Amino acid sequence: MFDGLKNIANLPGMIAKAREMQERVKVLQEELGHRQVTADAGGGMVTAIVNGRLELIKIRIDREKLIDPNDLEMLEDLTVAAVNAANHKATEMMREEMAKLASEMGLPPGMLPST
């Protein structure tokens, strides 16, 4: 019956650890928000730059590489593909950084949110 109460003495330490973890996640998320990831589509015809908050920062369209500048559908498709690729890279970056943080804190993989 009293087995569950054995860990109550650890409660202040657990709360302190949770606060530390929360603060470190917050700092990491802020840092990731300043990082930028770049991806392109169509062999560099369209390049998207996304930050660690998955916010689109910039789109670059290389006029010299566009086969037909009047083909808006192709340009739209390449833009979507570049943004999706950049978002994927940013998500992977966040996942890796959160996994590192969890490991540093002695937590099992997947214990911290990806963002």
Note whether residue 111 is domain-resident: no
Note whether residue 115 is domain-resident: no
Note whether residue 35 is domain-resident: yes
More confident residue, 30 or 12: 30
pLDDT, tens digit, for every residue of 57-69?
Answer: 999 999 888 778 7
Q: What angle do CA 88, 30, 99 make, to 5 degrees?
A: 55
pLDDT, tens digit, for every residue of 40-56?
Answer: 999 999 999 999 999 99
- Residue 69: give its domain's CATH number: 3.30.1310.10
Per the structure, the count of domains in the chain is: 1
Q: Which two tokens stand for residue 74?
A: 């192709």
Nearest to 113 by CA among 28, 31, 39, 49: 28
* Domain range for 34: 3-104
pLDDT band, residue 14 (cuts 50/70/90)? confident
